[in-house]
């Protein structure tokens, strides 16, 4: 099934007649360059998406609440409100994948975007086909995170995490973790593909105040030693320098 489809819904209208309806994904494009928006709209629609657009922050927020898009393409440099403020307000309303569009790819913009929870970046100028590919990739990643697990299991590559039993397996073999290591793995695995800042990770892990900024790196290193084939070249838990950590699915 294509990533643009939510999945078919079927019902019978007449005896023996089945009607199948496919719900299309909606993308909200927020940018103040009309020509760029027009091109993105055309490419996204040609690939099966519904598209709504806004040229500033207030209209973007209005459409975000009214149309409830499945993904947002959001320019950093907007009139009235900066894109980072729009992202912050959207995140406060609903957790939806957001890809930042920016012509300013300096480190400050990257860090601010990641701290607020942007799912991906695309630098200007870009290929519209690349943007559509990024949209599909982020939606696929989001869908994998949203699939419910009847057994409270979470899978990332060869790692299986049983949240109820606090059990971890790597390639089917049990892995022994401390409670802190398990908590770090649980938090990171719930945000696969998304960078968590050190502060975000500490807030989620240090419930009893037993994990501090100066000890977080040691806990990460010990966790890597248990789940990584080559801890010095991690495949699952990677460092985003100057920001924090991210769990990726290498499969």
**pLDDT tens digit sequence for 62-81:** 999 999 999 999 998 898 88
Q: Which of 34-43, 61-70, 120-129 has the lowest mean pLDDT?
A: 120-129
| 115 plus 164 within the same structural domain | no
**201: CATH:** 1.10.10.10
Q: How far apart are CA 10 and CA 194, in angstroms?
A: 34
Out of 146, 173, 193, a domain closes at 146
| 39 plus 19 within the same structural domain | yes
Tell me how many domains the chain contains.
2
Out of 146, 161, 188, a domain closes at 146
Q: Which residues pair with 11 in a beta bridge?
A: 19
Query: pLDDT grade, residue 211 (50/70/90)?
Result: low
| 125 plus 36 within the same structural domain | yes
Domain that holds residue 182: 153-247
| 176 plus 125 within the same structural domain | no
pTM of the model: 0.54
**93: CATH:** 3.40.50.2300
Out of 115, 146, 177, a domain closes at 146
Query: pLDDT grade, residue 105 (50/70/90)?
Result: low
- Beta-strand ranges (E) seen in 4-163 are 5-14, 17-24, 26-30, 50-54, 71-75, 98-102, 120-123, 153-156, 159-162
């Amino acid at each position: 099934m294509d990533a643009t489809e939510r999945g078919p819904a079927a019902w019978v209208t007449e005896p023996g007649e089945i009607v199948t309806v496919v719900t299309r994904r909606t993308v909200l494009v927020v940018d103040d360059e009309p020509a760029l928006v027009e091109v993105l709209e055309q490419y996204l629609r040609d690939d099966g998406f519904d598209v709504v657009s806004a040229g500033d922050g207030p209209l973007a927020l209005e459409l975000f609440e009214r149309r409830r898009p499945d993904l947002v393409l959001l320019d950093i440099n907007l009139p009235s409100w900066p894109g980072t403020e729009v992202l912050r307000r959207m995140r406060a309303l609903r957790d939806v994948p957001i890809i930042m569009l920016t012509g300013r790819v300096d480190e400050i913009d990257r860090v601010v975007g990641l701290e607020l929870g942007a799912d991906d970046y695309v630098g200007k100028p870009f290929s519209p086909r690349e943007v559509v590919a990024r949209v599909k990739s982020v939606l696929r990643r989001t869908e994998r995170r949203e699939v419910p697990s009847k057994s409270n299991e979470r899978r990332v590559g060869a790692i299986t995490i049983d949240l109820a039993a606090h059990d971890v397996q790597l390639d089917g073999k049990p892995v022994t973790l401390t409670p802190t290591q398990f908590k770090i793995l649980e938090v990171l695995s719930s945000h696969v593909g998304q960078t968590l800042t050190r502060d975000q990770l500490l807030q989620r892990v240090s419930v009893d105040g037993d994990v501090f900024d100066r000890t977080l790196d040691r806990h990460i290193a010990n966790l890597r030693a248990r789940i990584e084939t080559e801890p010095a070249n991690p495949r699952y838990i990677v460092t985003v320098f100057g920001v924090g950590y991210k769990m990726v699915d290498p499969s």
